[in-house]
Structure 1
Amino acid sequence: MKYNNPLEIVNITTDVLADYLYKAISDLDSEDLVKFDNADYIKDYLDNTIDLLGTDNFYTNVLNSYYGINHSFGTDFFETQQQLKKYVCDANLYLINDSLAVNDTSNDYIACDYVLEMLEADRNDSDE
């Protein structure tokens, strides 16, 4: 049997999502940064980012931001493309391309709360 269909699977956890959001928001100008004073505003930012980028590009940006561009996630091999796609479907994964699947286990609301805590800590540090 020849297994010619590789599949890398990567997890996006709440911490990974929070790290991505925090980095993106922290890069904003200070007048825009002030607006992020509650988790609902951060959640709106997240939703708008996904809408603007599309799911594939959003997941790719999150992964590249956290793991780096050339990171290897470990590979499983399947005999046929149909077996690969069935596995992805059965495991409730999101297939970005023919060989990279995302297991999004993150909780958006908890990630937004984490980001708010980090931003508040930054504000407190800058006040001292």
Structure 2
Amino acid sequence: MNRLMIFLDAIRDHLDSHALPPASSVEVTTWAAPVSVQLDTDTVTGVASGLATWAATLDGARVSLWRTPDGGRVQLELTGRAPCGVLVRVYGGVPFDPVTFPDLPVETDQDMPVWLLRQWARAGEEAA
């Protein structure tokens, strides 16, 4: 069996095993980050909730954020490994808000703790 089939089987099994949020795209390749998932939401609460849900299903979950060159958006990205060892990247973009992202200059990549995703998701649920 070739590597692509292994990665396809791994992500299919992972999606079947967990109640994960909707994705707008899933890309499976045989190079650096074999599985990439784009979340189907663009709100801070939605992206944070989606990434937090994914984080609970991956080993070694790490989160980073990056502000776009025009300064108008922030991409939040989670990386980790499915239990079978396949590297998974899950991401979503949100509008830049100086209150939410006070220390994030344009074109800056920063790590952030996974617990902060859970806090943002809970804050949005309380506001709804």
TM-score range, shorter chain: under 0.3
TM-score by length of 1: 0.24
Larger radius of gyration: 1
TM-score by length of 2: 0.24
Q: Tell me which of the two structures has the higher relative contact order, counting C-alpha pairs closer than 8 angstroms and 6 or more residues apart.
A: 1
Greater strand fraction, Structure 1 or Structure 2: 2
